[in-house]
Structures are given as C-alpha cells and as structure tokens.
Structure 1
Amino acid sequence: MMRFRSLRVKLVMVYTLLILFAVELIGAYFVQALTSSLVRNQAQTARTQAQLMATLIAPELAPGARVSNSAVSNLLQSVPQFLNGTVYVLNQSGYVMYTTAGGALVGQKRIDSVATQALLHHTFAQSVRYDPLSKSHLLAVAVPVTLHGTYLGVLEYVLSIQSTYETIHQATTIFYTGSIAVLAIVMILGAIVARALTRPVMEVTRQAEVMARGDFSQRLEAMSNDEIGDLVASINHLADELEEAIAANRLEQERLRAVITSMGEGVIVLDSSGQVLMMNRAARQMLSQAAGGEEEAIRQLELDRLMQGDVATGVREVRVIGNTIFHVILTSVQRRGQVDGYVAVVRDVTEQEKLDQARRDFVSNVSHELRTPLTTVKSYLEVMRDLGDDEAETKREFLEVIARETDRMVRLTRDLLLLSGLDRGGPRSVEMRAIPVHGLLEGVVERFQLQAAKQELSLRVHLPQRRDVCVYGDEDMVNRVLDNVLSNALKYTPPGGRIEVRADVTAQHVTFIISDTGIGIPPEDLPHVFERFYRVEKGRSRRGGGTGLGLALAREMVERMGGEIRMESEPQRGTTVYVTLRRAEEDAV
C-alpha cells in the first residue's frame, strides 16, 4: 500500500492535478466561448428582426399618423419569427403604444433596463436575464424607431433562449463526462509512469537504508542511462567509498584501542558532563590499588575541578591518593568549537618520586661522606703547617690520620664506581660458572683467620661433607659478598665473641650462613640495612671506616647472580646473614 508521503503518490497527484487544471481551464473557456457565440448569434438575429420591424412600423409612428393596432398586427404577422417572442412598441416617452403581450400593457411605461438604455441614448441595446417565473433565460433587444432621421420611439423584442442554454448545458455535460473518463485514464497511466520512474528511487532508498545499517555489500544495477542511472552509479560509488572509509576507520579504532589498552599510563575518557565513558586496563589497575574502588579513586582525583581550568591546552596536577602519587593530565576534546568530552592521562609516579628522592639522598649522602674525611684532612693539614721541626712524632700521627681518611675516601670512591657499574649492567660481563663451595670457605679462613685472632674473636668455618658441591655464580662477586658480610661481623663483634660460617646445601640452592654474637641491629633499622649509605648509628662508630655501601653492593651482586640475601638480628645477641645462590647443575668431581 502506497503511503501518502511517497514520491509515487505525489507524482500521480501532481500529474492528475495538472491535467485537471488544464481540463477545467479548457472547459471553462469552451463553455464561455460557446455561450458567447450562441447568444451572440441569437442576439444578432433578434437585432436584425427587430430592426426590420422597426423600419416597417416607422411610418405608422410618424407625426400626424394614427396608430392602428390592426395595422401593426398585420405588419408583425408579415415577420413570422416575431411570433416566438414578445414585441413592445414604445413612444419617445417610454409608454407602450403596442405590444403582443396583451392590450392591458398599452399605455403603461416600460422601465426595464434595455428599453431605458435605448430611450436615453437612442441606440441599440440588448441584455440576457433569467426569468424565475418562466424558469428560462430571456433575450431582450431594443432598437430605435426612426423615419427620415427623426427619432420616433423604441421597439423592444423579448424572446426566450432557454433552448440555447440547454444545448450549452448538454455540451458541457458531455465535455466534463469525457474529461472525467480521460482523467481516470490519465491517473492510471500516471500511476504506471510514476511507478516506473520511482522504482529506481525506491531501490536507491532501500540501498541507503541498508547502508545506514552498516551493510555495504549490496550494489544496485543501473537500468537506464539517464539521471536515475547516474544516481544509481553515484550510490554504488558512495557505497564503495564508505565501505573503504569505515574499514579504515575501524582499523584505526582497533589500533587506537590496542594502543590505549597496552599503554602503561592510565587513560580515562569522559563525556562533556564528566561521566566516565572508558578506562584502559592500566587505569583500572592503578585506581583499584590506590583507593577503595575505581569510583572513589576517580572522586579523589577531582577531575571535575580540573575541568574548570584551561583544559584546551591541558591541565597538569599531582594528586596523592593513599600511598600512591599520581600525575594527572586533563585535556578537552573539541568539536565545532564546543567541548565534546575530556581525556585524562593518569600516571603512577610513586616509584619515580622514590627514585628521585633516592637520588637526592644519594647525592646528599655522598656529599656528607666525602665532606667528613675532607674536613678532617684539611684540618690536620692546617695544623701541620704550623708545627715545628721538633714535633716529628705529632706530624707522623697526623699523617696516619690523613692516610686513614684518604683510604676511606678511596674505598668510598671505589664502592661508588662499582655500584654505578652494577646499576648500568656492570663494568664487565658477569662470568657465571660452577664454583666449589669448599674452595670458597677455605679462602674465607685464609683471609680472616689472622684478623679474628687479633680481635680476640673465635672464627669457625664448617665445611660441607661433600667436596664436589658447587654454586653457580661469578667467583669474584661471591668472594666480595662473603668478605663484606664477614668484615661487618668482625667489625661489630666485641672481643671474646664468636663468628661461625657454614654452608647449607639443598637440591637446588646453596645458602652461606654467617652468624656472629655482636651488638646486633635494632628491629626498626633491620629493613633498611641494604639501602645505600644507611648505617645503624647506635652502638656503631664511624671510626670503623664504613661507607654505608657494603651491604648495598652485596645485595646488587647477589641479585645479579640470581640469588638472594637476607638478615636476621637481635640487639646485643648477634646477627645472622643468609646468602642463597643457585647450586650448579653438575657439581665438580
């Protein structure tokens, strides 16, 4: 069923209305022309007859002549056409002198418009009027009666022309009946033509609807080479272009989504009202870990407050949520000069801040560690400058102090260079190989037995039962770690104390255990002993010459070899250090 708003219906209606308007216009003109022609012909005939009668009766109306009704009647009978109408003979004043309508009207004044016009202007006059009594159209013709140029009166001839109007009515009926039939045929033909014309348009419309649903696989077939064919070709070309554009757009969206999803920074997309539309995985992880859920974290980020700023160029702010530090960049998305949404990039800079703080602390600690021996060296040098030649013993003591402080700065510089090299990947490649545990522990005995005896300490090294047990690591690094841990044990164990070294062997690992009965480490300091430049000041003295980098170096080396180092300690009861390394897959024979 065709809809009233369809193009096909509109074409049929417009086509029909145009034909109807043309038929009505032609019909009106035809009826008017036919009526005018018939009435004009009858009026011309009536005027000729009236003029003839006026000429015949003029002598009877001449001055001095006696008007005889019988004479006038005989004259009228000589013109048979007048018997179908009514004749009025009026004098100059408009009074009826004779009429075929009956003697009762003789002597009365004739006041109709035709007679009045003829009497006033002494000219021909005519009119057509409808008589409601006889229900017919009447033609009235009035001509002046003259004799030898003398105006004598008016002859008025009134006759019925209803037959003429009936003829016109019949002709009009026939015309409009035929017009209706033709109009019906025209409507049928118009519907057929409109269907043929609008079929391609309907197909184009259906194709557009299919394209609007995202299906660009269908194509139209051009049935003609006219404008409709060009439209079909344009729609097919548009479908090709849209399919390629949407495919490219989807590809770009997938790439963008993949990039946003894989970004290390958190990305939050918001609409113009501040409602969250999308968050990538990094943002969800950061926000869920920072506070009690995503919504609470977003609220604490105060993005709605940042939206009040100049977001066109990007608003940057650092927000602290719990123990996490976030760097937030909020930028608006503009479309046609209006804000269409916002994009917030959230970055967890907690570790970065910690590293920056560690760098600042590192520089401060290095400056402090270097300043102390430099100040001491400078002070002793200034004093030595004022000493005399007879104070050689004092100079020697001062030189020993200067040498000791210089050695301390050398050790500090060496440790810093080694630690920096490990941070950068090592000054040399790590030479990982199987190292016999027996050889490592025997080397410890050789290096520290004499020093332990000098400090009145008991050093016991327990060798494993199997001599073929090996650890997998860099031999120089393993010795450095053991030396560092054992040096600390010797340094902070008072005389009479005991130091034990043993190796705990399992199927996968070898753990070196170094325990002492020294002064120990307070519980609050124990988690920080492996930090750079960290030293437990209680019960310890800078006079030991420590740089605060030994344990930090030991941890870096152990971790570089894939191992683990940890410490247990109780104040005034001693400290135990565990150095765990991988056991070699094939122990030495």
Structure 2
Amino acid sequence: MHRLWVRITFSFLLLMSLLLLVSGFFLAELMKNTYYQLKEKQLVQTAHLVLNAVEMDKTGLHAEDLQNKVILLSSSIQSRLTIIDKDGVVLADTKDDPLKMENHAKRPEVKQVLKEHLKSGLSIRYSDTLGYSMMYIAIPINENDQTAGVMRVSLSMENIEKAIRNLWISIALVLFAAFLLTGLIGMRLAKSISGPIEEMISVSEKLKEKDYTARVRMKSKGELGQLANAINVLASSLKSQMDKLHENEQRLTGVLANMMSGVLLVNIEGRILLANRAMGQMLGEDPSTFTNKHHTEVGRSKELSNLIDQCLKTGHEIRNEVHFYYPKEKIVDAHLAPYIRENGEVNGIIAVLHDVTDIRRLEKMRSDFVANVSHELKTPITSLKGFAETLLDGAMEDEELCRDFLTIIYKESDRLHRLIKDILYLSSIEHHGIPLSIEKVNVTEAVLSTAQTIKEGAAKKNLKLILPEKKDIWIEGEKDRIQQIVLNLLSNAIAYTPEGGEISVSIKEEDKAVKFIISDTGIGIAQKELPRIFERFYRVEKARSRSSGGTGLGLAIVKHLVDSHNGKIEVKSVEGVGTTFIVSLPKKQNNVI
C-alpha cells in the first residue's frame, strides 16, 4: 500500500499536468492565431498599397510594363506579389515568369475573391516546390464596379513556423518549470496533510491492539488539529476506562479466587463461562478446564445439574441443599439465580454454592450435646429424687437402709458435681478463659508422677503398665495441663482395657516437638467412630463408660488442652486389638492460647 502523501502528490500532479497542458495548448494556439491575424492584416494592407501603386497611371491591368512595376514594388516589400485576371491567368509575378505559370483560378484564395466575392481571401498551404508553407492573401481588383482580377500577396511561413516552434519550446519550458514547482509545493502540502493523518492511523492501530498509551504527537492546525486532539482525548478516555475495567476485573478475580463459596456462571446454552477455585475444590476438578464445557460434563452431581436446568428453564431463583459424593461427601447449600439482559431476556444463571457440611455437623453435635447433657443430668437427678422420696416416705427409720440410700445419693451428687465441673472446665478452655501459664516442664517427670495416681486402678484390673525411662526432656508449657492430658488418656486406657491387658507410655523427642505415645490392648474403636471421639459426650461404649463413672468429656478436654499448647493429637485403633493415642507438643511456645 502506497503512502498517503504519495497518492495525494500523484493525484495533485496529474491534475496540474492536465491543467498545464490544456493551458499551454490554449495559450500557444491563441498566440499562433493572433500572430496569423496580424500577418493577415499586414498582407492585406500590403496588397492594397501595391494595388494603389499599380493603378496610379490609370492603365491598371492593361499596362505593358505591369511585370516591371510589380518587380519594382516588391523590392521594398519582402513579399511575393502576383496579379491575376478574372479568368485566373497570371498577369505578373515577382518570383516566376507569368507566361510559364499555370492558371490560378482554382487557388483557394483566388476562388474566395472571384467566386465567393469576398473582400479578401486567405489560404495557408505547404509548397512542395519551396519546401515550406506559404500564407496567401488575395484582394479584388475592381474596374467599373466589376471585379477584373485579383491582387495576391504571399509571405513565407518559414520564419513564422520557426517563431511558433520557439514559442512552443518556451511554453513547454515554462510549463515544465511550473510542473516541477507545483510538484514540490504539492508534495510538501501532501506531506503536511498526510503526516498527521498517517500518525493518526498508526495511533488508531495501536489503540486497536490495546496499546492505550499511544498518542498523536504531531502538532497540526485547523480540522486536523481538532481531529488529533479528539483522538488523544479518546485514547486517554479509553486508557482510563480500561484501567478501571482491569482494576475491577482484578478485584472481581481476587474476590472470586478467595471466596470460600463456589461460584459458577452458566450461559443460556448450559455452557460454563466462569468457575472459581472453591467451585473446583467442591467438584474435585481443575476449574480452569470448565470453560465452554456443558455443566453436565463437570462434577458428578446430578442434583446440581437438575437445578441448573430448572433455573434456565423457569428463569426463577432456586435455593436448595445438594449432596455431593465426589471427591468426598459434602452437603452444599446451592443458590441459583438468572442474570437478565437489558431487554429482559435470561442470558444465563449464576450458581453460588456454600459448603454447609461443617455447619450441619455442628448442628448435629449441638443437638447431640443437648441430648447427652440432658441424659447425663437426668440419671443422677432421677436417682437423687427417687432415693430422697424413698427416705421421706419412711426409709429413714431403717438406719442401715438410710445409710445405703445416703451413700448412693452422695455418689450420684459427686458424679453430678464432676459432670458440671468438667463442663465448666471445658467451656473455659474453649473460650480461652484459663490462660496458659508457660513454664519449663520435664515431661518425663510429669508422665511418671501422673502414672503414680492411676497405678492402683491398673493394679485392680491386673493391667501391665509400661512407663518410659527416667530421662530429662524439657518443653515449654503448663505442667498441670500436660499431666491432665496424660491422666485422661491413661484413665480411658484403664477403663477400656480388659483385665490382664497392657498399657504402655513412651516419650519420643524430636527436633522441635515431643511426642507422647499411649497405647493399650483394649477393646479398640471402630473406624467409623474415630472422627467423632473428640466430641463432647460422645461414647463408643456408652453403657460401659457410664458404669465406669466417665462423663464423656475426657477426650474433648484432652483435644482442647493439646490445642492450647499449639500441639496436635492423633489416634490409631483396631477394634478388638487396641488403641494408640499420639500427642505431639512443640518444645517452644510462640503463640500462647
């Protein structure tokens, strides 16, 4: 593609060439005609002067010395003179012998006078004899008001044609100089116009390619300047708008990427336009692969697909709970709503999914807790009330029976006291009501001193208790809480290990942590029960734990005591084989709970 200034210059030069050529031809032709007219007038005047001189002696055409007179007159006139009678016979001529000359009646200039009766005749023709053109002027010779002949004056056109050729050369040179000048002016003018336009085109191309920093730098005046300013304003406005759009896009992307809720954008055809990271985690797939896929092709939830189809079909908001079974079982609160175009047509739907699995689990835990607390409180209260009523009904009279009933009332009230105490203690730990008192703790000493308190219980069931060797291992923590962790775990081990079993306690020191490993050969815990054993009042063997005096809060308290030390607890168990609890506590406490 040629540059714009070349096309403008070429068009301008083409137009100027046509104008100059037309003007040159017109001027040359005008000057040629003017020159011919002047020569024609000059020859007519010469013809009249010669005719007057010939007719002065009144002999006219019949003078015997007519030839001599004509030759004499031509010496002072640089023209050829010829006298012809009305029949075309040459009577006198200054160049040739009239007797040898042919009849001139058919010559154009003679015919114009003799036949057409014009005042003068004109003819310009090429002479083969002379080798150049001649201009012939003829005027009538009148006698007695009758045309008696013709006076013809002729002039060589050789000099005139040379003058005309020189005129053409001069005009051509002038026109060529004018062409060059106008070409230079046109090229400069074209560049002054095309330069800003080409820069504007370049800026427009850059704007199309999303380079919003491009600007028209050339300073122009008039309409081009206004256009350049308008393009710069447009580019600035586009840059500002695109920056805002990019900023909003980044904000939206950041919000969507960090949302805990899954977001899915589906068009009217059911194809996915957008999915955030949380949605990918819920469906167990990479969300970047969702784009342009049909919603039935991603995830493995028929319930969700049915809700999407229903929302697309009806155009109404839908809210429902959906169960996911892949990649793991979840309960999801799905909220689907259509997004509408300006004309009111449904353009697609937005699905927002909240994982409510933990909420539902906590609701169940809360419900179980209320039920368990009610049940745990009901038993001792019922016993207290029943035995008190029995005593009031007359059993106090029997001293031995009264003592037995009072002993039972004391045990049940003691159990109720321990239950309430454990609940309050657990609540305090959960709400950080009891701050951690950091001190240097010799964990081996803490474990051994705690084991002394439960040796009697282990001995009653003939259980073998294996304790760690005495070795100084120090950590930062609260000694009472560490001892309570060990006490609760050992108490559970004794409670759920049959007679003749074995309980072992070991301590393993690592670079940054210390592990307590407490194992037993007890009844074990089923795999399905393991995720819930740290819940409050949750019992694997409810009847047996209650008979053992347990409140069902021991492991819940252990879990919170471990968390307060920024540690973690693991459990491994095989039903009928035994259970192992692994407590890991950091040596240094950075963030104290």
TM-score above 0.5, yes or no: yes
Alpha-carbon distance change, 539 to 282 in structure 1, aligned in 2, over 3 angstroms: closer
Q: How does 1:314-393 map to 2 (within 5 A)?
A: 314-322=317-325, 323-337=329-343, 338-387=345-394, 389-393=396-400
Of 296, 299, 316, which residue of structure 2 is paired with 1:297?
299
Contact 1:434-1:584 at 8 Å conserved across structures: no
* Aligned counterpart, 1:547: 551
* Cα offset, 1:480, TM superposition: 0.9
Partner of 1:284: 280
> Quick one: which of 245, 250, 264 aligns to 1:249?
245
CA gap 1:318/1:469 in 2 versus in 1, 3 angstroms? same
Over residues 74-97 of structure 1, what are the superposed CA-to-partner deviations in whole Å (9 max), with x where a residue is unaligned?
Answer: xxxxxxxxxxxxxxxxxxxxxxxx
Letter in 2 for 1:476: D
The equivalent residue for 2:486 is: 482
Which moved further from structure 2: 499-508 or 408-417? 499-508
Matched, 1:503 2:506: yes
Residues 220 and 236 of structure 1 are in contact (CA less than 8 Å); yes or no, is this contact kept in structure 2? no
After TM superposition, list the pairs within 5 Å mapping 1:529-540 onto structure 2.
529-537=533-541, 540=544
**Could you tell me which amino acid in structure 2 is paired with residue 335 of structure 1?**
R
- Whether the 8 Å CA contact 2:525–2:579 is kept in 1: the answer is no
Q: Distance in 2 between matches of 1:234 and 1:369?
A: 82
- How many Å apart are 1:229 and its aligned residue? 4.3
Question: Which of 439, 443, 446 matches 2:449?
Answer: 443
Give the deviation of 1:287 after TM superposition: 0.9
Query: Contact between 1:270 and 1:277, CA under 8 Å: does it hold in 2?
Result: yes
Q: Counterparts of 1:373 and 1:290 in 2: how far apart (Å)?
A: 55
**Separation in 2, partners of 1:488, 1:299:** 42
| Structure-to-structure mapping, 1:91-130, within 5 angstroms | none
The separation in 2 between residues aligned to 1:366 and 1:548, in whole angstroms, is: 10
Query: Is the partner of 2:299 in helix, strand or coil?
Result: helix
**Is the alpha carbon distance of 1:383 and 1:339 closer, same or farther for their aligned partners in structure 2, counting shifts above 3 Å?**
same
Aligned residue-pair number = 397
TM-score (norm 1): 0.57
Distance between the aligned counterparts of 2:273 and 2:319, measured in 1? Answer: 21
**Which of residues 240, 245, 256 in structure 2 aligns to 1:260?**
256
**Helix, strand or coil: the match of 1:497?**
coil
Match of 2:414 in 1: 407
Q: How does 1:180-329 map to 2 (within 5 A)?
A: 208=204, 210-216=206-212, 217-219=214-216, 221=218, 223-225=220-222, 229-288=225-284, 295-297=297-299, 300=302, 301-302=304-305, 303-311=308-316, 314-322=317-325, 323-329=329-335
Describe the superposition over 1:115-158 as per-residue Cα deviations: whole angstroms up to 9, x where unpaired: xxxxxxxxxxxxxxxxxxxxxxxxxxxxxxxxxxxxxxxxxxxx
**What is the alpha-carbon distance in structure 2 between the residues aligned to residue 384 and residue 577 of structure 1?**
47
TM-score (norm 2): 0.57
Q: 2 CA distance for matches of 1:465 and 1:389?
A: 54
Question: RMSD across aligned C-alpha pairs, in angstroms?
Answer: 4.2
3-state secondary structure, aligned to 1:256: helix
SS of the counterpart of 2:571?
Answer: strand
In structure 2, give the amino acid aligned to 1:545: G
Identity, % of aligned pairs? Answer: 32
Give the distance between the partners of 2:587 and 2:232, measured in 1 at CA.
72
Which of 464, 468, 473 aligns to 1:469? It is 473
Q: CA deviation at 1:420?
A: 2.8
Residues of 2 paired with 1:516 and 1:249: CA distance? 64
What amino acid is the match of 2:491?
S
Counterpart in 1 of 2:136? none
Counterparts of 1:533 and 1:348, CA distance in 2: 26
SS at match of 2:319: strand
Q: Is the 8 A contact 1:432 1:472 kept in 2?
A: yes
SS in 2 for 1:557: helix
Instruction: Show structure 2 runs of 5+ residues with no match.
Output: 3-7, 13-181, 291-296, 589-593
Question: How far apart, CA to CA, are the structure 2 residues paired with 1:567 and 1:474?
Answer: 26
Counterpart for residue 111 of structure 1: none
Q: Which amino acid in the other structure matches residue 423 of structure 2?
A: L
Query: In structure 2, do the counterparts of structure 1 residues 569 and 254 end up closer, same or farther at CA, with 3 Å as the change threshold?
Result: closer
Q: What is the rounded CA distance, in whole Å, between the counterparts of 1:539 and 1:290 in structure 2?
A: 48
Task: From the superposition, tell whether residues 378 and 275 of structure 1 become closer, same or farther in structure 2 (CA, over 3 Å).
Answer: same
The amino acid that maps onto 2:548 is G
Residue type of the alignment partner of 1:328: A
Q: Deviations over 1:368-414 (max 9, x none)?
A: 22222222222223333322552343333223222222222222222
SS in 2 for 1:457: coil
Q: State the Cα deviation string for residues 186-238 of structure 1 (Å, max 9, x = none).
A: xx9xxx9x98999678876665555344333122646334x554444333322
Distance 1:520 1:400 in 2: 34
Q: Render the CA deviation track for 1:295-347: whole Å, top value 9, x for unaligned.
A: 24276322222223444xx4322211212222222233333233333322222
Q: Distance in 1 between matches of 2:202 and 2:286?
A: 53
Whether the aligned pair in 2 keeps the contact of 1:222 and 1:233 (CA below 8 Å) is no
Question: What runs of 5+ residues in structure 1 fail to find an aligned partner?
Answer: 3-7, 13-187
Q: Could you tell me whether the CA contact under 8 Å between 2:445 and 2:470 is conserved in 1?
A: no
Is residue 418–residue 427 contact of structure 1 (8 Å, CA) maintained in 2? Answer: no
| Structure 1 contact 445–461 (Cα < 8 Å) conserved | no
The equivalent position to 1:398 in structure 2, one of 374, 392, 405, is: 405
Q: Distance in 2 between matches of 1:419 and 1:212?
A: 66
Q: What is the identity, as a one-letter code, of the residue corresponding to 1:223?
A: S
- Contact between 1:489 and 1:499, CA under 8 Å: does it hold in 2? no
Aligned counterparts of 1:394 and 1:357: Cα–Cα separation in 2: 43
Cα offsets for 1:23-47 (capped at 9, x unmatched) = xxxxxxxxxxxxxxxxxxxxxxxxx
Q: Any idea what SS the aligned residue of 2:544 has?
A: coil
Deviation per CA, 1:8-37: give whole Å up to 9, x if none: 9xxx9xxxxxxxxxxxxxxxxxxxxxxxxx
Instruction: Indicate how the Cα distance of structure 1 residues 297 and 406 shifts in structure 2: closer, same or farther if over 3 A, else same.
Output: same
Among residues 431, 434, 438, which one is paired with 1:428 in the alignment? 434
Match 2:423 to one of 416, 423, 427: 416
Aligned-residue offset at 1:276: 0.8
| Cα gap change, 1:539 to 1:262, in 2 (>3 Å) | closer
Task: Give the secondary-structure state (helix, strand or coil) at the position aligned to 1:318.
Answer: strand
Q: Structure 1's 201 and 559: CA in aligned 2 closer, same or farther, altered over 3 A?
A: closer
